[in-house]
Structure 1
């Protein structure tokens, strides 16, 4: 493996037309749902998201251009997909090549027989380290990675804002993954889409106490794709105009203020209400769209019970300490401040226990070591907690073991990262290292 990595580095140094990046997932706390222009992917309302730490959730993409390649080729998680079958992928490629062609007009003449870089074919390999199309925003990180990688390979000097407009053409929410921290996708008013781009509200360092737990309920591809779901909602939901014209604009301002002031109570309240309304609009669609399931609804109940607890010493309410949000899928993202994470994990595990015989390290890897101590220097502290009885939490229904498949503990993270040539997903011949039949 080291030899192949060295060969790839030598190839990259010689041709200088390969790039590898990782990009983060972002989770919207004021949702985007519905388009005013389907072709340009222009949203009906602005949205705000939190960028999650890509050490835990990321898309990794390698793009290599070569004058010897005969076709553009694309592999997702080791499986080749036909580029012509994806209009959005094609749009991103065509857009970036057009920018390169414009740049080439200002460059000097080529040697006889040499093709301009804009005409070189591309081999693209992309991998997600989390379930694809299961409501965990895989398209947002995927198209962000694609836009960044291709722009580097084609030697384009584009800003994050400019790249966000291109990534948006692949997947709307992808524009927000061009930044770390807290991001607004401004819906814009220009019919051309030139003012519909992502902007930073605050960097990842702004609110270090804010963390997230992702409860993976299902790895199954969602039954209603977001694109078709949005289209049906815009056409049929009577609640949708109220959300677009009144509720969402107000929440954008409130959420931005809550983030800048690090006001968790307001942040949590807005996030939960907006998630609820998004799914209410989906239910108001005809025929209705169901992204949540019984386990999802159980998680919602659990968070509200967690937030209704009182201090046992004083009897005073502890206040809102956790906030759920659900995108177009059954999986939950729960935002929580760092000092409440351990108690919340215990609360979740009490009511959504791991599958029988499931290793503790799979159910909850404990990447930040919140269950470690001098007596339990590894994640075994969580395993000991699971064995302890009885649980002291108020009575809630306990779901079947394995209803929550795993808990991913993460925090707010940075934007796209450049990776060394040794991290390439393509081998020396330009094929994916981990190709699948």
Structure 2
């Protein structure tokens, strides 16, 4: 290898909005959920993370910048993603630059990461999902990882649970899995983005402030204190997953809207059933919900479904 070269890769990954929610982990360290979930991936032209990763022998340590501000990579979730990608890295050769990186070299080389969100970070629009998905995908390209998106999703999941779903377009299912090591907890694409191309999504950001209760601590408290969450995971979600898959397959907006609204309502009910209770909506959110519900009733059938997140907590 030369002494002053730099290799770079850039990736762009959209955020996703869950229509059947992920809320609660059965394993905190591996980020294994208590139930399956289904999401729709948004158009990357509107809401996305763009990440550039670079490697060079002159870099002294791994470093990362988010929206121009350097952040620490010491956290366990970042380290898990970096470790798993390095473990799967392959030989890379750039003949134009005269650079050849052997598989064993990746353990010694450091990376620099620059990531940018074109939407408010930590305001409820799944910035961590898009961020970790983009980070894992960009690093996989840089280090010539041979695994497919579903296999990569198991790595992205260890950064942020819903990140596994942002590696695909269209509608995506995150399978909770049963193995203790999380090897079967992966995302799979149900249908691509062309399947339901007349479905439009409007995001109403009612506040760009960072949410008061993080998803990590909120989920932990719900798992520990909410009896409703346990009932939801075991009895309600498995049936809703099947109905939602059918609604998506058949382009049944009425069924899709009813299931999404019911699941979102139950998510917020679980938050209220948590001790101490968690509040993720404000007065503006409630007013918008009321307006849309009245509009749908006046039409006689759902013209819109109101995804009861409205810029807050998109899981």
Matches within 5 A, 1:176-195: 176-195=165-184
What's the counterpart of residue 96 of structure 2? none
TM-score using structure 1 length: 0.67
Candidates 44, 47, 61, aligned match of 2:37: 47
Structure 2 Cα separation of the partners of residues 323 and 209 of structure 1: 14
Structure 1 Cα separation of the partners of residues 313 and 128 of structure 2: 15
Structure 1 residue matching 2:61: 3-state secondary structure: coil
1:247-298 deviation digits (Å, cap 9, x = unpaired): 1111100000000000000000000000000000000000000001111111
Structure 1 unmatched ranges of 5 or more: 1-13, 105-109, 311-316, 334-437
Q: Cα distance, 1:16 vs. partner?
A: 7.1
Structure 1 Cα separation of the partners of residues 204 and 137 of structure 2: 29
Q: Cα distance, 1:332 vs. partner?
A: 8.4
What's the counterpart of residue 241 of structure 1? 230
Structure 2 Cα separation of the partners of residues 266 and 162 of structure 1: 31
What's the counterpart of residue 79 of structure 1? 69
Count of residue correspondences: 303
What's the counterpart of residue 218 of structure 1? 207
Matches within 5 A, 1:62-101: 62-84=52-74, 86-100=75-89
Structure 2 Cα separation of the partners of residues 332 and 115 of structure 1: 39
Structure 1 Cα separation of the partners of residues 229 and 48 of structure 2: 32
Structure 2 Cα separation of the partners of residues 62 and 330 of structure 1: 27
- The runs of at least 4 aligned residues of structure 1 exceeding 3 Å deviation read 326-333
TM-score using structure 2 length: 0.92
Root-mean-square deviation (CA), in Å?
Answer: 2.0
Candidates 164, 182, 186, aligned match of 1:175: 164
Candidates 321, 342, 346, aligned match of 2:303: 321
Structure 1 residue matching 2:298: 3-state secondary structure: coil
Q: Cα distance, 1:330 vs. partner?
A: 3.4
1:194-225 deviation digits (Å, cap 9, x = unpaired): 11000010000001110011001000000000
Structure 1 Cα separation of the partners of residues 84 and 314 of structure 2: 35
Q: Cα distance, 1:329 vs. partner?
A: 5.8
1:271 aligns with 2:253: no
Instruction: Check 1:47–1:331 CA distance in 2 against 1; reply closer, same or farther (3 A cut).
Output: closer
Structure 1 Cα separation of the partners of residues 251 and 12 of structure 2: 28
Q: Is the 8 A contact 1:218 1:331 kept in 2?
A: no
1:171-214 deviation digits (Å, cap 9, x = unpaired): 00000000000000000111111110000100000011100110
Structure 2 Cα separation of the partners of residues 115 and 208 of structure 1: 45
What's the counterpart of residue 295 of structure 2? 306
Structure 2 residue matching 1:250: 3-state secondary structure: helix
